Copies of this chain bind each other. A is one copy, B any other.
Amino acid sequence: MEYFPAPLETLVEQFARLPGIGGKTAQRLAFFVLGLPAEDVNAFASALVDAKKNITLCPVCQNFTAGGLCPICASEKRDASTICVVADPRDVAAMERSREYQGRYHVLHGVISPLNRVGPEDLAIRPLLERVQAGGVAEVIMATNPDTEGEATAMYLARLLRPLGVKVTRLAYGIPVGGHLEFADEATLLRALEGRREL
């Protein structure tokens, strides 16, 4: 790749380091950036530096926040007696989009995954236990992904949390709304059948 001048080559390499961005895409993005007005490029660069500098973890729920408590932990309107445990800050955004959940969150920043050498000590589990031990929590909802690692993590946490006297629940499994029965896998159908409700 000695065909591009060094500053362009460096930019291509920087883009190629991003997850899911291959060499060709990195080139395309770098060329796009060269075609932008200088102020737009500066705004992009500032957004990178600002986000890294100003985004911290909420000391209570470990979600991303722009300093201090996150808006959800700071809100008086949110029910502090319910904690929804998710693996990732993006899952908080997904739950919030449902506009139904009124409790608070706890972000683990990962799931237990021996294959990827992620153990319980790598996750934000201690702050969760401390929140529950501090009292005032009635229910902890496990909302990790319904895959093997998400399941294992939910099970592990449930075992730690139950002795502390809180109710531990799990999001329901079933057929996704708008989904087709014929495309549902057997495990999902089995869970949907087990979890059936009277109409």
Chain A residues near B (Cβ < 8 Å): 1, 3-8, 10-11, 13-14, 17-21, 25, 27-34, 36, 38, 41-55, 64-66, 70-71, 88-90, 92-93, 96-97
Contact = CB atoms under 8 A, between A and B. Distances in A.
Contact of A47 (B3, B11, B93): B11
Nearest to A95: B3
A29 B32 CA distance: 17
19 contacts: A1-B93, A3-B96, A3-B97, A4-B64, A4-B89, A5-B55, A5-B70, A6-B66, A7-B55, A8-B66, A10-B47, A11-B48, A14-B48, A19-B32, A34-B64, A38-B52, A41-B51, A42-B49, A44-B48
Contacts of A20: 25, 28
A30 B48 CA distance: 8
Contacts of A31: 88-90
A3 to B, nearest CB: 4
A34 B66 CA distance: 12
B6 A34 contact: no
A6 B43 CA distance: 14
B33 A51 contact: yes
Contact of A50 (B10, B52, B71): B10
Nearest to A30: B51
B93 A3 contact: yes
In this complex, the member of A25, A28, A47, A52 whose beta carbon has the largest number of chain B beta carbons within 10 angstroms is: A52
A162 to B, nearest CB: 30
Contact of A27 (B44, B46, B90, B96): B90
A34 B96 CA distance: 21
Q: Nearest 7 pairs between A and B by C-beta? A: A5-B66, A45-B45, A11-B51, A3-B93, A41-B52, A14-B47, A7-B51
